[in-house]
Chains A and B, each alone.
Chain A
Amino acid sequence: MNVTIVDYQSGNISSVINSFTEVAKGKVNLAVTSDVNKIKSSDKIVLPGQGSFKSCVDSLNSINGLVDTLKEFAITNKKPLLGICVGLQMFADIGYEEEETKGLGWISGKVSKIDNQKGKFKLPHIGWNEIEIQKVSKIFKDIKNKSHMYFVHSYEFIPEDKSVISATTDYSSKIVCSVEKDNLFGTQFHPEKSDKIGLKIIDNFLKL
């Protein structure tokens, strides 16, 4: 199996590479690239994302043909894609970080700043929080409800269709922290930094 981590020169993806390399050992061919031909011939795609929604979208758009290739892969050909953090947020139609920015529009919804309730909740939401599983998701195989995952973010994805939500976490409100829609998977938390339980999620994705 060929799995590609999309390297679109936005933020730090070393941890994503390290954890996938660890889990993929001897089982999966892992590539880290933005080469559209490599992406086309992959079986699975990982779309990481760090920094702001706007900077990630801008970086994706700056690579010729990348957005179209990803769309063809995930939407037309319906092959498995996992978005992590801002990688998940970009599934939305629109994001409001820095300025109003158009997302990929794969799952209808918006990305807005977490309501900190007048400073009652510190932002970014940094650290380990429990996930509350909302529906059966293939990447949660053998993952217990209320498992701890590592989060670092100030913005949240609010999908229109609530049936895509596979897990939420409690911080100021019930924040969407995982989605599954057909072949599209996304986590707001960082499985690559969530210890053994996070590696298990990666393993589940690789085994799909």
Chain B
Amino acid sequence: MLKNRIIPCLDVKNGRVVKGINFVELKDAGDPVEQAKIYSDGGADEICFLDITASNENRDTIIDIVRKTAKECFVPLTVGGGVRTIQNITDLLLAGADKVSINTAAVKDVSFVKEASKKFGSQCIVVAIDAKKVSDNKWEVFTHGGRNKTGIDAVEFAKQVETIGAGEILLTSMDRDGTKSGYDVELLKVITDKTNIPVIASGGVGTLDHLYDGIVKGGASAVLAASIFHYGEYKIKEAKEYLNSKNVSVRL
């Protein structure tokens, strides 16, 4: 049977790994290529780079990191942050990324997702949705690292990107990101129920139980986390063994 994926995410700024607490107060913690290799050797099912510099001037830095990582890690590599044009995607894929994650550009113009998926195949197009709860059972899409409100309903947007060719949804709860209080399971549940493509849970992991909740209660196909792995609180292997012990099927 298909295994639930554990995806460590490396936030990269100016070529270095950082992890923000609610996207501010960044801590510097290492070389991304080296980190990715440690994760891949440790049993990560996929590696995710999120380029939080994401300015046009710095595109070359992330591309260089992707190129170096892809020569050493032979598990899928997803790269997001500042993906705005078909050329950005081409550059990342040529450097060795397997999937790209599109966030703001998808919200600005959803037809970009369609164009990208038609050109490269939906298998490599991930749409990253940053959502914040606005009232009971209602979540809104935010952009620019949670700063900008869009007025778009997150559930409707998820359904829409599925229809036009997204291969996966990377769903981040902006309420939970950096808080270590667990995924927004309600949000996950509603989106995994209403879409038929895999959903990657993101935002808020502080314990291994949170990973369990994302998969079992939220229905996520994959769980993404940054700081619990990055600061060495848990190894990927420990996370997998824990999930396995609770009858969640993972690749051991």
Contact = CB atoms under 8 A, between A and B. Distances in A.
Interface residues of A, number: 38
Interface in B194-252: 196-198, 221-222, 251
Interface in B46-96: 70-71, 74-76, 93-96
Interface string A18-34: 11011000000000000
A127 B74 contact: no
A55 B70 CA distance: 25
B24 interface: no
A128 B3 contact: yes
B123 interface: yes
A11 B122 CA distance: 11
Contacts of B94: 12, 14
A85 to B, nearest CB: 9
B45 interface: yes
Given A14-B93, A14-B94, A198-B74, A126 B167 contact: yes
A79 interface: no
A124 B123 contact: yes
Interface string A27-51: 0000000000000000000000011
Nearest to A196: B74
A68 B196 CA distance: 39
Contact of A148 (B168, B197, B198, B251): B251
Contacts of A127: 2-5, 45, 198, 221-222
Interface stretch (A70-78, A101-109, A115-123, A136-144): A115-123
A11 B120 contact: yes
Contact of A199 (B74, B95, B120): B74
A194 interface: yes
A173 interface: no
Contacts of A18: 70-71, 74, 96
Interface residues on B, range: 20 to 34
Contact of A126 (B74, B95, B121, B198): B198
A195 B251 CA distance: 12
A126 B93 contact: no
A114 to B, nearest CB: 12
A122 B193 CA distance: 11
B197 A152 contact: no
Nearest to A150: B76
User: Max chain B CB contacts within 10 Å: which of A15, A52, A153?
Assistant: A15
A128 B251 CA distance: 7
Contacts of B222: 127
B106 interface: no
A26 B85 CA distance: 38
Contact of B70 (A14, A119, A151): A14
A14 B95 contact: yes
A12 B196 contact: no
Given A14-B97, A128-B5, 7 more contacts: A15-B96, A126-B221, A127-B5, A127-B221, A171-B1, A193-B76, A194-B75
8 contacts: A11-B120, A14-B70, A18-B74, A124-B167, A127-B45, A128-B45, A148-B251, A194-B75
Interface of A: 11-12, 14-15, 18-19, 21-22, 50-52, 55, 116, 119, 122-130, 148, 150-154, 170-171, 192-196, 198-199
